[in-house]
């Protein structure tokens, strides 16, 4: 099931183009008890990233144990929008995060994962990395 959800996040990633550019086209899926409850993708620059886009859809709703699947490491820096890693870290409904690939952008580069782990979240990296990398790699800042 985890793979199916990451591939659903990858499908969301593709929807981000071309409006998201120059930001990478990231996709995000949130599940509750093996069912998708929210999905999002990177909006135009200055608007929601994929994670914030998905979180917005379940704003105010109560869940005990959500899992998030995101194609790229959540951002750890405040750019045009607040850092997604902080928003996820502060959301007590989300317990486990699957990140397909790390963000090579030096402003992030593992720091997004650190924020999530320090907040006590379970973080898994590398799910469907080949498929995600084949699509996303060309859009990453290196």
Residue 75 or 136: the one with the smaller Cβ distance to Zn ion is 75
Question: Which spans of this chain sit near Zn ion (rule: CB under 5 A)?
Answer: 49, 75, 84
Encoded tokens for 8:
């659903």
Radius of gyration of the chain measured on its C-alpha atoms: 13
Length of the chain: 142
Active site residue 73: no
Nearest to 127 by CA among 102, 92, 95: 102
Residue 49 or 121: the one with the smaller Cβ distance to Zn ion is 49
Encoded tokens for 101:
């690939």
User: At 7, which helix (H) or strand (E)?
Assistant: helix 2-15
Residue 14 or 78: the one with the smaller Cβ distance to Zn ion is 78
Catalytic residue among 19, 51, 73, 90: 51
Catalytic (active-site) positions = 51
């Amino acid at each position: 099931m985890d793979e199916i959800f990451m591939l659903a996040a990858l499908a969301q990633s593709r929807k981000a183009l071309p409006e998201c550019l120059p930001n990478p086209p990231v996709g995000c899926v949130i599940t509750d008890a093996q069912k998708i409850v929210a999905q999002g993708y990177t909006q135009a620059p200055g608007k929601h990233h994929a994670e914030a886009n998905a979180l917005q859809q379940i704003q105010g709703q109560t869940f005990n144990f959500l899992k998030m699947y995101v194609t790229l490491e959540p951002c750890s820096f405040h750019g045009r929008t607040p850092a997604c890693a902080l928003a996820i870290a502060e959301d007590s409904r989300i317990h486990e995060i699957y990140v397909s690939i790390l963000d090579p952008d030096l402003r992030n580069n593992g720091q997004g994962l650190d924020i999530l782990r320090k907040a006590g979240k379970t973080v898994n990296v590398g799910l469907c990395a080949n498929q995600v990398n084949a699509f996303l790699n060309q859009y990453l800042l290196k």
